[in-house]
Amino acid sequence: MFEGYFLYWGAVWDVLPKMAKGLLITLEIGVMSIALGLGVGVAGALARNSSRRAVATAALVYVEIMRNSPSLVKMYFIYFGLPSLGIYPGPLLSAVAALVLHNGAYMTEIVRGGLAAIPRTQVLAARSLGMGTWTTFQVVILPQAFDNVLPSLSNNWVEIVKDTSLTGALSVREFFHVVEEQISATLRSFEFLTVAAVVYLVLTASLSGALRTAEARIKYRR
């Protein structure tokens, strides 16, 4: 084991600023995808519940074609496919758009489940207090639905953070792309991959930990 190979952690230390920059881009992609994806999820859930047949069907088709193919396919489709139509999205935009579309479909189903769990009486009560449709949704329905689905959302968000590592395939200079680059430059694969594994573990663990704390607070509040 490790014959003729001496661990040299200095290899990582030397390129720390580059790694930090990559991590920042990873976080950027993650936060944007989560925020925009949640927006798509809420809109999608409403569309799925729409009384207009066409809107509901369109939302269903969207969910199924997104959930039954890899996120990498959508990244390539946007980055390599859209230029054929004369649209030239950059790597970062393609990456975020693909992650938003892909995970927006998952969040659509998650939010839909949360909305379905809200009793009809909540709407009736809010309406009888004189709230409009939008106010009812925004003040009464959505917050409760959000509390219900936080655990499922948390799983999806962790998936998003992990999926940011694929965006390097579009030459986005995110964390894992920097790691790969450094491995081929220094051949210090053991050191860099260990650091990458630890960094991602810390990221995913702190995200799910934070959401679990939020969830516990919500339960306590009730």
Tell me which residues touch other proteins (CB under 8 A): 1-2, 5, 64-65, 67-74, 76-77, 80-85, 158, 162-166, 168-169, 176, 180, 183, 189-190, 193, 196-197, 200-201, 204-205
Nearer to other proteins, 123 or 199 (CB): 199
SS3 179: helix
DSSP state of 183: H
Rg (CA), the chain: 21
CB 22 within 8 A of CB 180: no
Nearer to other proteins, 67 or 212 (CB): 67
As measured in angstroms, the least distance from the Cβ of 202 to other proteins is 9
Token output for 8: 């040299």
Nearer to other proteins, 68 or 121 (CB): 68
Chain centre to alpha carbon of residue 183:
27
Euclidean distance between the first and final Cα of the chain, in Å?
A: 56
Token output for 33: 């995808």
As measured in angstroms, the least distance from the Cβ of 204 to other proteins is 4
As measured in angstroms, the least distance from the Cβ of 93 to other proteins is 16
Nearer to other proteins, 71 or 108 (CB): 71
Burial category of 105 from C-beta neighbours within 10 Å (exposed 0-12, middle 13-18, buried 19 and up) = buried
As measured in angstroms, the least distance from the Cβ of 198 to other proteins is 9
Sign of the C-alpha dihedral computed for residues 93, 98, 101 and 104 taken in this order: negative
Nearer to other proteins, 157 or 176 (CB): 176
Sign of the C-alpha dihedral computed for residues 148, 151, 157 and 159 taken in this order: negative
Nearer to other proteins, 129 or 198 (CB): 198
